[in-house]
Every structure is written in structure tokens, then in C-alpha cells.
Structure 1
Amino acid sequence: MSTRADLAIAALRKGHDNLSALVAGLTADQLTGPSAASEWDVSQVISHLGSGAEINLEVVRASLEGGSAPEFEFNKGVWARWDGMTPQERQEAFPEANRRLVEAYEAFTAQQRASHRIDVGWMPEPVDVATSALLRLTEFAYHDWDVRVAFDPSAALAPEAATLISERVEGLFGWIAKPANLDGRTADLLVRLTDTGETLGLHLADPVALTAVAPAAPDGELSLTLEAWLRLAAGRLKPEYTPADVRISGPITLDDLRAVFPGY
């Protein structure tokens, strides 16, 4: 039976293969065209994923040597080098950098996947391989979508990634949710995931919270697929990327939720 680590690593491999193939075929104009990340062109999203792969690889290597995550100065050096690349250089460098990281995860034995711990540098304590891989998968899946939707407005999060990162979505709220954008209004929404049959509770206050138990007397209801919910929570459900079957009732509108979850 596949473990969380196995599934996350397999999703990283599939995402890498698919995005690397897409990136390899991009023209110069496509590389410098807009991505769904509002402040970055396509090559800058690729740069972010490439530099992140290098930094994550160093984190994994350090854990295998019994060390701590690299110092922030190391990260700054990696970012500066990728920032200094041309779009074409980023196009060429990304597949190799990301491949090395994916292969590092794939190299973990079954025993290591169960017991090894990795100091990622910003969490209170070292995490297991599954959590480390899921942290990377969350970052990768959203930015993979940022690139692919630039060329296909109907693009969706990779399904194998969406299923896994759903367990981490509330962890994003602490740094991306902006309840102040509701101007003092609060609400409890029932979130109905139409494809999985799940119902959740979304508490719109400060702090924003997600509960596994739906509110008994919700102020409104949000109905959408898991994939659309994950994109909404990460600021990636702008009107032009919103499926026709998304529904909301009550005093909170989709634009209100887009303001609460402006993205990154």
C-alpha cells in the first residue's frame, strides 16, 4: 500500500515530467508573456520553481548529513542567481534543477520515508519525508497551474496533487488570508465539495478557520469542486478562471472571498 510519502513523491515526479515538457517547448514570447501570478511573467514562475528546487535539495542533503537547513544567505544567493538569468536560461536550467530534487526524494528508501526527519528551516521541528514532499508539492502544484493556465484558460490543478495538498490548505490561511478585507463583516459558510461529497465549515473572522464539521446554522453556502476550492483558497479563482458550476448563497459573495484570499 502506498504511503503519503510515496504518493507525494509520485505526484512530484508526474508534475516535473509534465511541466518540463511544456517549458521545453515555449517560445521566447511565451516565456516573457503573463502568467497567472500577477507580478511574474512565465519565466519568473519557472525561475521561482527552479530556485526553490535548489534550496529544497540543499535542505534534503543537509538532513541526510545530520545537519540543519541552510542559512538564509544561501537562499538569497540562489534567488539572486536565478533572478539574474535570462528567460531562455531559466527555461534551460529549470528541468535539471527540478529533476535533481525529485530524484533526491525518490532515492529515499521505504524505511527512510517512514522514519527520516528533515529540518526545513522555518517549522518548529523537523518534519517527516511525507510532509517535506507535500510542502514542495503544494508550492509546485500552484505555480505549475500559474504557467499552464497562461496557455489553457481551462487548466486545473493536477488531480493527483490536489488530493494530497487538500490536507494543507488551512495551513496557508495564516499568511495569505486577509479577513480585514471584509471590513468587519464575519460569516460562517458551509463549503460543499461537489465531487468528493465532503462538507466543511469556513469561519470568516480573524483568524479565518476551516473545520471538518459544517456549521449547524451557516450564514451561507459555497458549492464547488475540491480543485476549485483549493484554487480559491490560494487566490487563483479569478472570474476568468472560475468554473461555471461554482455557486454561493448568503451575504458573502465570490468577490468577497477573492478579497479574503488574494493569493501570492
Structure 2
Amino acid sequence: MSTADIVIAALRSGYERLADLVLNFDEVALAGPSAATDWDIAQVLSHLGSGAEIMTNTVQLTLDGKPAADGDFNQNVWTRWNSSSRQEQAAGFLVWNEKLTTLFESLNDDQRDSLRIELGYLPAPADVATVARMRLSELTYHSWDVRSPSDPSATLDADAVPQMLQTIGDLSWITRPANLNGLQAVLTVATTEPATKFSLRLDDPVSIDSTPTDDADGSLTLPAESWLRLIAGRLAPNHTPATLSLTGPITVPTLRRVFPGY
């Protein structure tokens, strides 16, 4: 299987896992709080649904050989979704995420390998695997946002985690180095499921080195999905695994402040 095949398969399984819940949500459930700050469950589904509609349009325009939509298209989509009822947002989530997933699945082997999609905010058009992986990351985090308030043991979808690990690059936009309060440290991070090892440099800026250093100040060991939730601000005390181990001068509360979420 190609990388695009793997990512698209993970999109399908992740969508269906969330859809199974959404199909049973009533008005009370949709109005309930999510783990996404200031959003109820329906608003998270609206975000995922509008994003799926926009990405479906983007991919289809590329397939049709047409230029990317202008900014008014996205704004009109968001306005329409924001004015919809909670039940309409939930139903729209199901419709548009099915459409997007099916569209990715319909791409043949040559398209999955050679198609380049213009997203408008990247320096160059991106391949199918990259675009699908970006969508997978968003779907996976927000699926957790929907599931975790009623399930403290909720984890990120296992099929998505290995792919999401590959998207971590520049941490500057998601970190708050000022919350280190002058501390500096290098941690060797070791994840499980899958097993990876790298260095986390807690400084200004916060950065990652793919090769572990020999002079680390401490170590952080945790499941890979928990590492992904940590850097996305989703590792609150009641959602922190008992298997997490941290040594050195940095505490878990400090890490949470450095990675406040987005």
C-alpha cells in the first residue's frame, strides 16, 4: 500500500468511528460541552463538516482542472454552517465527511501518486498523501474532542497516530516558551505504539531534534497518542495515562503550559 492508501484508509475508519456516535446524538448531547475550548459538540461537528465541504470542493476543482476557489467561497460556507441548527450541523457533518472520504477513495493509483492539490496557504501544491494527512489530523483531534468529555479513557484513533507523528515539524506556533519562566532543558522523548525516540528542546523557540541527544536533562516516556495530545493541549490531568513517566527539571504541568492547545 502507498502512503496515500494508508492515510485514506485511516480517514475512513476514523470517520466511521465518530459517525457511529453522531448518529445517536440527540439535541441534549449535541448541546453538551466538547473538549474544544468554547465549543459544544455541535460546533465541533460544524467545524469538521464545513472543513470537509471546503476540502471536497478544493479536491474536485483540482480534478476538474479548474483554479482554486476564492476566499468568498470559504466564508460563505462558514456563514451557512454557523447559522445552522445543531441537528443540521450534525447531519451536515455526516453528509460532507462521507463525500470527502468517498472522493479520496475514488482516486486511482496514478492520481494518488501524481495529483497535486492547491490549498492556497502552502508554498506549493501538495500531494494527496499530504492533504489527506492534514485532514486526518484535524478529524482525529476533533473526534477526541467529541468523545472525551463522556469517556476519560478516550484516546486518539490508533490508525491515525503513526501518520500524525509525521506531521510534527515547526512547533513555534503551538508553543508558549514564556511559560517556561526561564527554564531550559532537553528531554529525550520515547513513545510507544508506535515506538519512536527524539529530543524535545525546551527553550525559545521550542523545537524537536529527530536524533536523541547524549546529554539530555531528563526523559519523557508516554504513548504516542498521548504525546500528540500533549502538544495539542489535550493532556489534562484526567486524560493523562498512568504509564507517562517524566524525569528531570521539567514537570508535567509546565509541559501543559508550554503546549496550551489550539
Instruction: Tell me the TM-score normalised to structure 2 length.
Output: 0.96
Quote the offset at 1:234 in angstroms: 0.8
- The number of residues matched between the two structures is 262
Q: Which runs of 4+ in 1 moved over 3 A?
A: 194-197
Percent of pairs identical after alignment? 45
SS at match of 1:165: helix
Q: Where does 1:109-258 land on structure 2 (aligned, <5 Å)? A: 109-171=108-170, 173-258=171-256
Aligned 8 A contact 1:68 1:121 in 2: no
Seen in structure 2, the aligned counterparts of structure 1 residues 55 and 174 have a Cα distance that, compared at 3 Å, is: farther
Aligned 8 A contact 2:117 2:126 in 1: yes
In structure 1, the residue matched to 2:261 is 263
In structure 2, the residue matched to 1:88 is 87
Aligned 8 A contact 2:162 2:194 in 1: no
SS at match of 1:174: coil
Deviations 1:112-157 (A, max 9, x none): 1011100111000001100010010011110011101122111100
Instruction: Tell me the TM-score normalised to structure 1 length.
Output: 0.96
**Aligned equivalents of 1:143, 1:17: Cα separation in 2:** 14
SS at match of 2:7: helix
Deviations 1:147-180 (A, max 9, x none): 0112211110000001111101235x23211212
Between stretches 174-183 and 152-161, larger displacement belongs to 174-183
Q: Does 1:10 align with 2:9?
A: yes
Aligned 8 A contact 2:187 2:200 in 1: yes
The one-letter amino acid of 1:4's match is T
Deviations 1:80-109 (A, max 9, x none): 111111111111111001111111111110
In structure 2, the residue matched to 1:98 is 97
Q: Where does 1:31-70 land on structure 2 (aligned, <5 Å)? A: 31-70=30-69
Aligned 8 A contact 2:201 2:208 in 1: yes
CA-based RMSD of the aligned residues comes to: 1.2
Deviations 1:60-96 (A, max 9, x none): 0121122343222211111111111111111111100
Quote the offset at 1:224 in angstroms: 0.5
**Aligned equivalents of 1:73, 1:241: Cα separation in 2:** 39
Aligned 8 A contact 1:222 1:247 in 2: yes
The one-letter amino acid of 1:212's match is S
**Aligned equivalents of 2:197, 2:23: Cα separation in 1:** 40
**Aligned equivalents of 2:181, 2:71: Cα separation in 1:** 36
SS at match of 1:207: coil
> Which ranges in structure 2 are unaligned for 5 or more consecutive residues?
none
Quote the offset at 1:34 in angstroms: 0.7
